[in-house]
A and B are shown apart, each in its own frame.
Chain A
Amino acid sequence: MNLAPTAEQQELQASARRFLEKEITRERLLAWDKTTEGYDAAFWRGVVDLGWIAFSLPEPAGGGGGLLDMALILEECGRALAPAGIHAAVVGARALAALGAPVQGVATAALHERERRAGKGLPSSRVERGKLRGEKWFVRQGVSADSLIVPAREHDELVLVNVPANAPGISRRELATFGGDRQSVVRFDGVAISPQARLASGAAAAEALRRIQDEATALALAEMVGGFAVVCETTVAYMKERVQFNQPLGKFQGVQFRCADMATSLSATRHVVFSAIWRLSQGLDARRELAIARAWAGGAYKQATLDAHQLHGGAGYVVEHPLHRYAERAQSYAILFASEDDALTELADQLLPREDEER
């Protein structure tokens, strides 16, 4: 048992933190709000130069870092409010590499139907006579990505295809989501699927899709842990500093209780999340731990951001203060990756026999 990162992993995190702290300023965040990508070219070049996307690949594909190392970097991204595009690019690159496809530019995985996550039953998008038709929703970086990894059905089985984002027949529209990450709806109107575009089919595709989902979830959870830690640290620091009734707010017991609960919840969140990530990174069965992490982390992080708003009052409510960005991410990441309802349903199916199969 060892609940801390190794010295090497800590150094990895420290160097990521140095880079992100230097690059991500308040002004730049406000400027990025107005861009399609959620970042600018210079920043992205920095990310690519650091080798994070390449580093995230499994060793046979030229990378050096496993899922755990990448999760530790994404924890730092979550701390720094780094663009959500990093998560999307890492998930896409790892998916392509795992399926033996070359990685060029930013590939994003289309993991949602309009109403649900992919992976539950067959998708509604279809490949027929070599053409892809259908629609994917909430595709992260959907408008700016260079290629799209799409789960679809073909002859009643699952296929995974990777299509260039500028292929004829693709139309993309940015969605007006609140979370500050870039989500799009992507339409496929008879997009030609070349043999190279086919990544996997049948059971292999289902297995690959499950792996992509799990990794996307795990890395998103790591980002949530990082953000949660900052929310907790920032709130405690402000409670030491803000004076009302001639004393720091942090001297009031009501405030101390909230802060203590937030810190306890953060510890619990960190461990349920990293125990799941650790198991996944070791190739162990992590279904139970991932379901638990999803069921726990979203609610815990959301609650912390709302408590932080309560404790900050107006000071944390102005748009220049980053707190609302953490609060929005907590909610949007919970919706996309850590739905408590979905996770509890899955966990219940692991715990108890299902007797009403029609449900």
Chain B
Amino acid sequence: MRYAFTESQLAWRDEVRAFIREHKTAALDDEMRRLSNEEIGPQARKFQDALLAKGWWGICWPKEYGGQERSAIELFIFIEEMTLASCPYLSLTYTSMAPTILRVGTDEQKSHWLPRITRGEIEFAAGYSEPEAGTDLASLRTRADLDGDHYLVNGQKTWNTGAHTATHQWLAVRTDQQAKKHQGISLLIVPMDAPGITVQPIYVWPGLRTNAVFFDNVRVPKDHLIGAPGMGFYYIAMALDFERIAIGSPAMVQRMFGQLRETVATIERDGRPLAADPAVRRKLARLETEIEAARWLAIQNAWAIDQGGVPTTEASMAKIFVSELSARFADVALEILGPLGQLGPDDADAPVDGRIQWLYRVAPMLRFGGGTNEVQRIIIAQRGLGLPR
């Protein structure tokens, strides 16, 4: 038993911190404050290029493919440090899609796609949800029918975040209309410049952009189908479990908590700093306690991966806890800040860079997105505790 990072894990953390010190500029901070996810700005692009140049696109990838072959705990450290420092870190392309290609792709697919990904030439948008297939993803209808050496793709995707900047769709399609609903789905890589694709913006509550994407007889080479046909649903489930190392980290809340803690010393109410108000002190101490619990659940998830296997229940526990903590944190923090907490990032008087009111509006998505928390609870109950289906 050792409830602390090892020497080599600490050395890795120092390496990550040194990288951040070198590459995180004031200009990047400024850009990240101004831009939402409408686009990746030039500063963020520069930062990401530096990550790629360092070979840090594949922290956990095998050395065979040029990766770092580091442990999941080290990936957790990387994500934690990047998030604490408010850096744009690697997208799902690197943390979810590429590892899936590594695990299930053919040798040809690996040698075709992976070098392009590591050179930063490819950015995927995840094409999973449809208007009639959300939580019940296996009901998806977008179809890909074989036509010679091509697939013909027809259908509609929604909540397609990043479709307007991505180079490719990572698309879940039905390739077998006769198979049972979970078994007829495949994963297909579709270039965004293929004729027949239409992208329509959808704006959501916190001002973030996502998209609806329409496919009208889009022709895709047959070899763009990743892994085995009919296995797509299971690949997605597997990829989601790995993704949850990222969604399961409370580092964003930790960062805002640190800022909040400094802020309460500077705001006076009724003739004394907020930090001197016993009710505020108690609330902050309680949040600190919950953040610590969340962080251990996140570490448990990474640690379970390092013990071998896919961390189904651990990932679900971390996802539920962190997303619900984010919502609670934002609410409690807004209550502490009072009227000032309403101010957004564009207002110079906004406490905590105006991020807490933003988190309050983002947190609902954290709870229902990435596999709803209800589904996560069912996963824990049925797969973890063995309760009947």
Contact = CB atoms under 8 A, between A and B. Distances in A.
Query: A and B, one complex?
Result: yes
Contact of A352 (B261, B377, B380, B381): B261
Interface in A246-304: 247-248, 250-251, 253, 255-257, 259-261, 263-264, 267-269, 271-272, 274-275, 278-279, 289, 291-292, 295-296
Interface stretch (A85-93, A153-161, A340-348): A340-348
B289 A295 contact: yes
B303 interface: yes
B9 to A, nearest CB: 7
Contacts of B282: 344-345, 348
A169 interface: no
Interface stretch (A1-9, A47-55, A108-116): A1-9
Contacts of B9: 1
Interface string B67-84: 000000100000000000
Interface string B239-279: 00000000000000000000001001100000011011010
Contacts of B293: 268-269, 271-272, 292, 296
Given A256-B378, A260-B381, A353-B275, A250 B3 contact: no
B73 A260 contact: no
Contact of B387 (A239, A271, A274, A355): A239
Contacts of B321: 264, 268
B278 A250 contact: no
Contact of A3 (B3, B264, B273, B289): B3
A217 to B, nearest CB: 15
A68 interface: yes
Nearest to A264: B317
A267 B276 contact: no
Given A3-B299, A272-B296, A263 B1 contact: no
Determine the main DSSP class of A at the interface with B.
Answer: helix
B28 interface: no
Given A261-B377, A343-B285, A352-B261, 10 more contacts: A1-B299, A263-B313, A268-B294, A271-B297, A271-B299, A296-B292, A345-B282, A347-B285, A355-B272, A356-B276
Nearest to A4: B1
Contacts of A236: 385-387
Interface in B369-387: 374, 376-378, 380-382, 384-387
A296 to B, nearest CB: 5
Nearest to A253: B378
B6 interface: yes
Assign chain A's interface to a size class.
Answer: 35 or more
B284 interface: yes
B281 interface: yes
A39 B73 CA distance: 45
Interface in A287-343: 289, 291-292, 295-296, 343
22 contacts: A1-B4, A1-B6, A3-B1, A248-B388, A257-B377, A260-B316, A260-B385, A267-B314, A267-B317, A268-B321, A269-B293, A271-B293, A271-B299, A272-B289, A272-B293, A275-B296, A295-B289, A344-B289, A351-B288, A353-B275, A355-B273, A356-B276
A347 B287 CA distance: 11
Interface string A1-23: 11111100100000000000000
Interface in B32-76: 73
A34 interface: no
A129 interface: no
B378 A278 contact: no
Contacts of B285: 291, 295, 343-345, 347-348, 351
Interface SS of B by simple majority: helix
Nearest to A356: B276
Interface in B103-135: none
A240 B387 CA distance: 6
B299 A259 contact: no
Given A1-B73, A2-B1, A347 B317 contact: no
Nearest to A250: B387
A120 interface: no
A256 B381 contact: yes
Contact of B284 (A259, A274, A352): A352
B320 interface: yes
B289 A352 contact: no
A264 B320 contact: yes
B342 interface: no
Contacts of A239: 387
A275 to B, nearest CB: 4
Interface of B: 1-6, 9, 73, 261, 264-265, 272-273, 275-276, 278, 281-282, 284-286, 288-290, 292-294, 296-297, 299-300, 303, 313-314, 316-317, 320-321, 374, 376-378, 380-382, 384-389
A9 B1 contact: yes
A167 B279 CA distance: 47
A279 B278 contact: no
Contacts of B296: 267-268, 271-272, 275
Contacts of A45: none
Contacts of A1: 2-6, 9, 73, 299, 303
B297 A278 contact: no
A46 to B, nearest CB: 27
Contacts of A5: 1
Interface string A124-142: 0000000000000000000
A275 B3 CA distance: 5
Interface string A31-57: 000000000000000000000000000
Contacts of B264: 352
B378 A295 contact: no
A292 B288 contact: yes
A302 to B, nearest CB: 15
B385 to A, nearest CB: 5
Contact of A260 (B272, B289, B378): B378
Contacts of A263: 313, 317, 380, 384-385
Contact of A347 (B289, B297, B380, B384): B289
B385 A259 contact: yes
A9 B1 CA distance: 9
A343 B289 CA distance: 10
